[in-house]
Structure 1
């Protein structure tokens, strides 16, 4: 990400003797080719010029781009009006391998509205409950720079057989959906298990599993999509919830479906807080979960950090207890890292991915990527069998949907790809 610059196409619009006619030609091309506008950076082969564009159909006060990679304040994400036109634009230098979900924040007299880019060349139906935002459409706009890594495991393929998803209600009333791979309704041997936290019936992991099975990339694997009642409690290194998963919920599922009890074939996965819980559960119950698949796991998490941040953000708390809101207090090692440091190594294999640009926002201190690197170093020193990767993005489902497949190939691979 670099300083704001002026796109050659937008520069031509500024210099036109007839801005309205130039604007009409520009938007005719954009409607055909899609947005944002992506141009190679003439002085840097590893960067491109990305121009986010919005054509106002009503008076607006501001249009801001919302994405997962810049970490910039609102004023640096605002689109500027092109004089004599209804077009607003914002051009950034961006690395050519970046991929990010984005949307627009429209501010007008009636309030703030979040909308996808109506002309986005790439759109995805995102479904991870961890990032669900009220009022934001599920069809998300995605910026894919020219050298971004291809992602395909989560794309529905018309020629691939689909597994079945069976709904069930667990003893405590929560919903649990079970995915069974195609042709394995009555398998000759128990199926491997993938426990998906923040689960729901339409989770794209079903498509990922269908594609992996069709290509023979993984051994036959079922999935349990587990609904969270209170994710901020259950997924935050909660010993009782992890015990519940290992000792209650999995045996319940095995009584209903032909699922293995072999820990080497049992994987737990989640993104964000779900990734934190997956790693904590794998550490504390290695006799049940032999594989952990973390996608942008919230390794930074610590209750003291959250409490301090809440006090700083609450003026009434600051007034009531000024000493408790001192800036600069030392933070302790995040809980998950501390747990792995203190515990003897366990035979659980760990696949960990995080975005290179996951450096915040608060209260993620240390930043997600920095905490993840710390955990990676601890796993190295402890001698774990693990794989660590970073992707050129932020805290973003557009990466998680497909990288789930890469992690499963490593953890459940059927051959050379394992």
Structure 2
């Protein structure tokens, strides 16, 4: 049973209250606190102040040889980049308690983890490592992590008014009943460079599919995330069981490294044609071997996030015969073909972005485009609003949505199911 907040030792769950209450606390009092935290779960949201408090347990380096000099809680687009100092936790003297309270919006979903820099270390710079995690999970967070690599990974902050994600939070704990096929193969452009990449195909449980009904097909980028750590197949099955989605197949292609991802997903027309052609043909063959037919263009969705979101937009523009729907989440509006641009350039750029110019110069297509962005994504918000305006002006069927969060799988995964529901319709359990 989860105890009420007023069951906690003392009152006040914010940083200042905890610093005052537990400074040089007696061991028994401190142990009662940690026992309550283990039962209660973290982060703590103080009903009095509204602050969200993150905790870590370890002695300070001044008190024990194995102690820590500093602890940083790294919350996506909250305590990263120029806001790094906001995540430095405070040690409660005479204890093993580190605390940090942050004023977070009630509707926020964000990934986070803990790092242990030297006290005098400079803030990190540059992009994160490819498909690896240098943050430690929150050991008391009751929600399933976004990624778990033996204690390293990403935990999920869920504000009290954040949109629900039951498919990811409870559905992720269920075994997958469908089939997950994985082959390491080379696309034609890969073969010339002696490169191979993972091809993933999810096929639903045949018992969930009405007889002789072709399966809608979702094509995704960044398979190493969606199949490797995010647990997409289990979430899809939970959504189908709840009647939110129809059973569908998923094709996803992985990247081999960070530079490979930049090259392939940076509006690379050749790569996108090969995914729509050769990779989809592979998925069609493997689905047929399992007794499934894949539906035609009107029930085919291409979706991506960040550079993958840019790729979904270019696929809608250049490959309208292959996809009926495109979901672009936090697309990289800063990207330019010369490869010299970075996200920081959006603040110095005048005029429209490269991808917006592409749509302004092209005739309207009949691919239905869904755009989504996090409310903590800074200049991407107005840039995406300009793109939506151009799409509508040029005659595209386009909608947009804003989610509480940053540049983050924590809300992308919710937007993905929202987008699939809007594109493909609800499943039979909900309709009947």
Using structure 2 for the length normalisation, give the TM-score. Answer: 0.77
- State the alpha-carbon separation in 2 of the partners of residues 78 and 182 from structure 1: 47
CA contact (8 A) 2:301 2:325 kept: yes
- Provide the C-alpha distance between the structure 2 equivalents of 1:121 and 1:11, rounded to a whole number of angstroms: 24
Structure 1 distance, partners of 2:363, 2:115, is 48
Q: Deviations over 1:343-395 (max 9, x none)?
A: 11100011222211112xxxxxxx33332222222223233223311111111
Secondary structure of 2:167 counterpart: coil
The 3-state SS of whatever aligns with 2:218 is: strand
Q: Which residue of 1 is the match for residue 46 of structure 2?
A: 39
Structure 1, unmatched stretches of 5+, are 1-5, 43-47, 128-134, 313-324, 360-366
Closer, same or farther in 2 for the Cα pair 1:16/1:232, shift >3 Å? closer
In structure 2, what is the equivalent of residue 163 of structure 1?
Answer: 178
1:199 alignment partner in structure 2: 223
User: Do 1:7 and 1:49's aligned partners in 2 also have CA atoms closer than 8 Å?
Assistant: no
1:263 aligns to what?
Answer: 297
Decide whether aligned partners of structure 1 residues 283 and 7 sit closer, same or farther in structure 2, where only a CA change above 3 A counts. farther
Match of 1:142 in 2: 156
Report the CA distance shift for 1:24/1:255 in structure 2 as closer, same or farther (over 3 A).
Answer: closer
Q: 2:100 aligns with which of 87, 90, 93?
A: 90
Which string of whole-angstrom CA distances, capped at 9 and with x for unpartnered residues, describes residues 209-235 of structure 1? Answer: 212332343344211121234210111
Q: Which residue of 2 aligns with 1:320?
A: none
Out of 400-409 and 159-168, give the one that drifted further: 159-168
Aligned mate of 2:70, from 43, 59, 62: 62
Greater displacement, 230-239 / 92-101: 92-101
Asked whether 1:307 is paired with 2:315, we answer no
The answer to whether the Cα contact below 8 Å between 1:126 and 1:398 also exists between their aligned partners in 2 is: no
2:332 corresponds to = 298
Count of residue pairs the alignment pairs up:
379
* Alignment deviations for residues 168-208 of structure 1 (CA, whole Å, 9 cap, x no partner): 34453433122111117996243221111111454622123
Q: State the 1:119 CA deviation.
A: 2.0
Match of 1:126 among 117, 138, 147: 147
| Counterpart contact for 2:88–2:100, Cα < 8 Å | yes
> Which deviates the most, 28-37 or 286-295?
28-37
- Do the aligned partners of residues 35 and 219 (structure 1) sit closer, same or farther apart at CA in structure 2, a change above 3 Å counting? closer
1:157 Cα deviation from its structure 2 partner:
6.5
Give 5+ residue unaligned stretches, structure 2. 1-10, 60-65, 125-133, 188-195
Which range is displaced more, 19-28 or 345-354?
19-28
1:399 equivalent in alignment to 2:411: yes
Cα 1:262–1:51 change in 2 (3 A) is: same
Comparing 234-243 with 191-200, greater Cα deviation is found at: 191-200
* Equivalent residue number for residue 130 of structure 1: none
Q: Distance in 1 between matches of 2:102 and 2:172?
A: 34
CA distance in 1, matches of 2:340, 2:151: 32
Offset, 1:108: 4.2
- Contact 1:205-1:404 at 8 Å conserved across structures: no
Q: Does the alignment pair 1:368 with 2:380?
A: yes
- Taking a change above 3 Å as real, the CA distance of residues 17 and 197 of structure 1, as seen in their structure-2 partners, is closer
In the alignment, the residues of structure 2 paired with residue 308 and residue 269 of structure 1 have an alpha-carbon distance, to the nearest angstrom, of 23
1:386 aligns with 2:398: yes
CA 1:34–1:157 in structure 2 vs 1: closer, same or farther (change >3 Å)?
Answer: closer
Match of 1:20, SS state, is coil
For 2:150 and 2:392, the matched residues in 1 are separated by 40
After TM superposition, the structure 1 stretch with the greater mean CA deviation from structure 2, 86-95 or 276-285, is 86-95
User: 1:75: Cα distance to partner?
Assistant: 2.2
SS at match of 1:40: coil
Separation in structure 2 between the aligned mates of residue 219 and residue 145 of structure 1, nearest angstrom: 29
Aligned to 1:243: 273
Q: Secondary structure at the match of 2:245?
A: coil
SS at match of 1:301: coil
- State how far apart, in whole Å, the 1-side matches of 2:166 and 2:13 are: 32
The CA RMSD over aligned residues, in Å, is 3.4
Task: Check conservation: 2:298, 2:324, Cα contact below 8 A.
Answer: yes
Report how far residue 13 of structure 1 moved.
Answer: 4.2
Alpha-carbon distance in structure 1 between the residues aligned to 2:39 and 2:421: 37
Which range moved further: 380-389 or 135-144? 135-144
1:181 maps to 204
Q: Please, which moves more after superposition, 401-410 or 182-191?
A: 182-191
2:264 corresponds in structure 1 to 234
Per-residue Cα deviation, 1:64-100 (whole angstroms, up to 9, x for no partner): 1101132543222211222333322221222212121
Instruction: Give the Cα–Cα distance (whole angstroms) in 1 for the partners of residues 239 and 347 of structure 2.
Output: 48
Counterparts of 1:50 and 1:252, CA distance in 2:
47
